[in-house]
Chain A
């Protein structure tokens, strides 16, 4: 009970009611929505979840990673590869997937932080590792090379092997998103969370007052990479195919960062709000693009929308929105 009380903290009843009704709606969604809208909601929850995971490194600990596709890609490839080659189910495979991503994040993080790379330099290091891995997987027969890795599509629902339809994957990604939300809230309320914010605001001052800066940054990387790897596993089994060109692409890494930046870095609800806005815009512009029939027109609208948001709400939408709704999340 005390853990729960700490988790709820000083949230207003209004916030809690809001969250509870949102959760209820999300739980009922498959019964209420058609196939198309469910697939949109799946995308939203996916981006909210990976955004939440990325937010730990950037929003909480202040380290700009532009290579998170590495962890999602590794997670997906390890679980899918074990299933494809040895018939090892994803529930066992995900431990290996998480372990692989954690090891990769330890290597990237330790090298980056130990050699005190920050800002753009750290970002480029993360990109370099992700690109390096992409090319390696392109030439690795076990992973299917550039031709890709395909999982057998099976219409029969089988939760044990993660074979089945969208509703199962919807509840899985919903569970992940809710779990990550609660975990991030708990982390922020913990000593580690306070340390992260101290490191983000002023690493030197934090070091001076005895915060173990290197260990805190490493923990942020590992937790974030482990969560991202789960998204990769989910992604691989949902789409049934993996290509190095997309799984480890720079574009995939950028996608991961957009929802939390647009929604509000370092906020708990920002990744979700950003994911709703971005996926909504993306779907809306796809319709317009299809109607106009000009290649690239969808992305032009998307780029314009990003431009407008970053120019007028550079701190993200949620801090502004929550103040409007009277749900002010404490400034982190």
Chain B
């Protein structure tokens, strides 16, 4: 009895960790955008859902696995994010939060209802060949699709780390985030860097969408939930911190899976929101963020 329970618990935790990696990648996009521009992307879940739909369409109509179409989706999202920042969001940087909120809310409404108008309200899923494959790790069984998605998410996060610490553009973006005025003084093209940042953040969430569609089917109504989920993760991990977003993703992934096992599945997000309230009050810089406010 107890050993069965422990096994089920361990199983839930592994499942949560794997899903959590994809959550982490999604939240990473939000965190990068906020960390650099102080713009709160209220359309984040909507972007995620668009990524899921693109990957679904690629699979449905072109028979391309989401893992293969992922790089293309990331490139499309980068371009769209770049243009969105240049065209719409740029004048709103430094404006009051409620104005940014309204702007991105309008973008969110357009994205989610665009998806609804094109793909309809039905849930759309992807049936991969590896759907029912699994790997055994001792007594634990890992779903193949979940493991692949998690590994891809880790690889993309590693690429992002490389970009921000090793490339000139990445370093310039961090410089602009640290000191906007200083970056302007040394002659960095800050508006371009901001556009690149939004593109990178969008690419993250687009890629996360392509991975998520292999785990669960998509409907337009998931968008709001994902926006909230991304916020919970980055706040718990530490808004603006890259490791924070990833660790937050894992934590929320695990807590959802365990709450789903121990309590009712419908109660799982109550746990996340409770955690959000505690972190906001006791450690607003996030569990893994270091800067004191």
A-B contact pairs, 21 of them (CB 8 A): A58-B98, A64-B98, A117-B281, A120-B97, A121-B284, A124-B235, A124-B280, A128-B276, A128-B277, A131-B228, A250-B228, A257-B98, A261-B102, A295-B117, A296-B112, A300-B109, A302-B109, A303-B108, A307-B103, A310-B106, A314-B95
Number of interface residues, chain A, beta carbon within 8 A: 44
- Residues A300 and B99 in contact in the complex (CB < 8 Å), given A115-B281, A132-B273, A139-B264: no
Contact with A along B97-121 (1 / 0, CB 8 A): 1110111011111101111110011
User: Once the chains bind, are B117 and A300 in contact (CB under 8 Å)?
Assistant: yes
Contact of A111 among B91, B103, B266, B281 (CB under 8 A): B281
Contact with B along A109-138 (1 / 0, CB 8 A): 001000101011101110111011001101
Known: A127-B231, A295-B120. 15 other contacts (CB 8 A): A64-B101, A117-B281, A125-B281, A128-B273, A131-B228, A132-B274, A135-B266, A254-B105, A294-B117, A297-B113, A299-B112, A303-B107, A306-B106, A306-B109, A314-B99
Q: Which residues of B contact A302 (CB under 8 A)?
A: 109
Q: Which residues of A contact B121 (CB under 8 A)?
A: 295
User: Once the chains bind, are B102 and A310 in contact (CB under 8 Å)?
Assistant: yes
Q: Which residues of A contact B109 (CB under 8 A)?
A: 299-300, 302-303, 306
Residues of A within 8 A of B (CB): 58, 64, 66, 111, 115, 117, 119-121, 123-125, 127-129, 131-132, 135-136, 138-139, 146, 250-251, 254, 257-258, 261-262, 265, 294-297, 299-300, 302-304, 306-307, 310-311, 314
Number of interface residues, chain B, beta carbon within 8 A: 44
User: Once the chains bind, are B110 and A297 in contact (CB under 8 Å)?
Assistant: no
Nearest 3 Cβ contacts at the A-B interface: A303-B109, A296-B116, A296-B113
Contact with A along B55-98 (1 / 0, CB 8 A): 00000000000000000000000000000000010011001011
Q: How far is the CA of A66 from the CA of B273 in the complex (A)?
A: 15
Q: How far is the CA of A306 from the CA of B280 in the complex (A)?
A: 30
Contact of B99 among A111, A307, A310 (CB under 8 A): A310
- Residues A139 and B266 in contact in the complex (CB < 8 Å), given A117-B280, A125-B280, A250-B228: yes
Q: Which residues of A contact B217 (CB under 8 A)?
A: none
Q: Which residues of B contact A304 (CB under 8 A)?
A: 106, 110
- B220 an interface residue at 8 Å Cβ cutoff? yes
Nearest to A129 among chain B residues (CB) is: B277
Q: Which residues of B contact A307 (CB under 8 A)?
A: 88, 103, 106-107, 110
User: Once the chains bind, are B117 and A296 in contact (CB under 8 Å)?
Assistant: yes
User: Once the chains bind, are A306 and B117 in contact (CB under 8 Å)?
Assistant: no
Q: How far is the CA of A173 from the CA of B40 in the complex (A)?
A: 35
Q: Which residues of B contact A58 (CB under 8 A)?
A: 98
Residues of B within 8 A of A (CB): 40, 88, 91-92, 95, 97-99, 101-103, 105-110, 112-117, 120-121, 220, 224, 228, 231-232, 235, 264, 266-267, 269-270, 273-274, 276-277, 280-282, 284
Q: Which residues of B contact A139 (CB under 8 A)?
A: 264, 266-267
Q: Which residues of B contact A128 (CB under 8 A)?
A: 232, 273, 276-277, 280
Q: Which residues of B contact A297 (CB under 8 A)?
A: 113, 117
Contact of A303 among B106, B273, B284 (CB under 8 A): B106
B122 to chain A, nearest CB (A): 11
Nearest to B114 among chain A residues (CB) is: A300
User: Once the chains bind, are B113 and A299 in contact (CB under 8 Å)?
Assistant: yes
User: Once the chains bind, are B98 and A296 in contact (CB under 8 Å)?
Assistant: no
User: Once the chains bind, are A120 and B116 in contact (CB under 8 Å)?
Assistant: no
Q: Which residues of B contact A129 (CB under 8 A)?
A: 273, 277
B237 to chain A, nearest CB (A): 13
A101 to chain B, nearest CB (A): 18
Among A117, A304, A314, the one with the most B-chain Cβ atoms within 10 Å of its Cβ is A314
Q: How far is the CA of A127 from the CA of B108 in the complex (A)?
A: 17
- Residues A303 and B224 in contact in the complex (CB < 8 Å), given A139-B264, A254-B105, A295-B121: no
User: Once the chains bind, are B266 and A306 in contact (CB under 8 Å)?
Assistant: no
Q: How far is the CA of A251 from the CA of B117 in the complex (A)?
A: 19
Q: Which residues of A contact B220 (CB under 8 A)?
A: 296
Q: Which residues of B contact A295 (CB under 8 A)?
A: 116-117, 120-121
Among B220, B224, B267, B281, the one with the most A-chain Cβ atoms within 10 Å of its Cβ is B281
Q: Which residues of B contact A127 (CB under 8 A)?
A: 228, 231
Q: Which residues of A contact B98 (CB under 8 A)?
A: 58, 64, 257, 261, 265
Q: Which residues of A contact B99 (CB under 8 A)?
A: 261, 310, 314
Nearest to A138 among chain B residues (CB) is: B266
Q: How far is the CA of A304 from the CA of B103 in the complex (A)?
A: 10
User: Once the chains bind, are A135 and B269 in contact (CB under 8 Å)?
Assistant: yes
Q: Which residues of A contact B40 (CB under 8 A)?
A: 120
User: Once the chains bind, are A125 and B266 in contact (CB under 8 Å)?
Assistant: no
Q: How far is the CA of A235 from the CA of B168 in the complex (A)?
A: 57
